């Protein structure tokens, strides 16, 4: 080590020592700036929430749908619909990561892919899952998928089911939820015997790349087991 560099290091060490000596032993801890839970955007201690209302399973559920975020086949007729939301815990209000959502719906004409009066659980002849999917929430409890606005259908004389999307939601430590999401403004909402007002979601009209689509946010809250 050359003389100049050694002198520089010696001077730096002496300066540091003198600074520490000057501070003395009566140092005070740095004061906290605030509680973490009060920081904007931090969900450190969320409030308890009311669980999402249950709704009927219906006759057209099929297990084993593929995991995907676009549940329509290419060129599926209908108005494009983007649905998103957050799955939360009722007891803590916090998001639930890795929750599994099973989703199924009718097409624009109000028909399911396994609709069969003789056997409601019959699979399509080609074995495909149409307008069905499973999703997994991310670390923030968030989910999102693309589909089309489902059609309403008449299930008995003068008895109509409004447009809706079925949900079966599961998360470790929480009760499985079977419910449905409905659309605000559907003319059949007022006469449907199965609907709950809390499950009717507003529909926003949006545009992307010169084309219009609908967007709905459906947040879900699961009850503790």
Tens digits of per-residue pLDDT, 131-190? 999 999 999 999 999 999 999 999 999 999 999 999 999 999 999 999 999 999 999 999
Please name each of the domains of the chain with its CATH number. 3-37 (no CATH), 46-222 (2.60.130.10)
Mean pLDDT of 214-223: 98
Q: What is the pLDDT of residue 23?
A: 52
Reported as a pLDDT band with limits 50, 70 and 90, residue 4 is low
What's the CA angle centered on 49, arms 43 and 52, to 5 degrees? 125
Residues composing the chain: 225
Mean pLDDT of 92-97: 98
Q: What is the pLDDT of residue 35?
A: 53
State the sign of the Cα–Cα–Cα–Cα dihedral 89, 94, 98, 101.
positive
Residues 6+ apart with CB under 8 A from 95: 43, 86, 87, 88, 89, 137, 140, 141, 142
Reported as a pLDDT band with limits 50, 70 and 90, residue 7 is low
Quick check: 44 pLDDT over 90?
no
Please tell me what DSSP assigns to residue 117: S
Mean residue pLDDT across the chain: 87
* Least confident window among 10-14, 54-58, 138-142, 188-192: 10-14
């Amino acid at each position: 080590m050359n003389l100049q560099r050694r002198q520089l290091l010696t001077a730096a060490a002496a300066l540091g020592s003198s600074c520490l000596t000057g501070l003395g032993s009566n140092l005070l801890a740095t004061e906290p700036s605030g509680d973490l839970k009060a920081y904007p955007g931090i969900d450190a201690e969320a409030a308890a929430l009311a669980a999402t209302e249950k709704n009927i399973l219906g006759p057209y559920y099929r297990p084993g749908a593929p995991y995907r975020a676009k549940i329509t086949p290419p060129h599926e007729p209908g108005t494009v619909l983007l649905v998103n939301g957050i799955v939360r815990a009722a007891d803590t209000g916090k998001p639930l990561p890795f929750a599994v959502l099973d989703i199924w719906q009718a097409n624009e004409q109000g028909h399911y892919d396994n609709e069969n009066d003789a056997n409601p659980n019959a699979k399509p002849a080609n074995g495909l899952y149409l307008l069905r999917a499973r999703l997994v929430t991310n670390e923030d409890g968030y989910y999102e998928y693309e589909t089309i606005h489902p059609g309403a259908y008449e299930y008995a004389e003068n008895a109509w089911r409004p447009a809706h999307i079925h949900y079966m939601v599961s998360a470790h430590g929480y009760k499985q939820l079977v419910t449905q999401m409905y659309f605000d403004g559907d003319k059949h909402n007022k006469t449907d015997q199965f609907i709950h007002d809390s499950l009717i979601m507003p529909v926003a009209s949006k545009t992307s790349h010169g084309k219009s689509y609908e967007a709905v946010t459906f947040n879900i809250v699961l009850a503790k087991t």
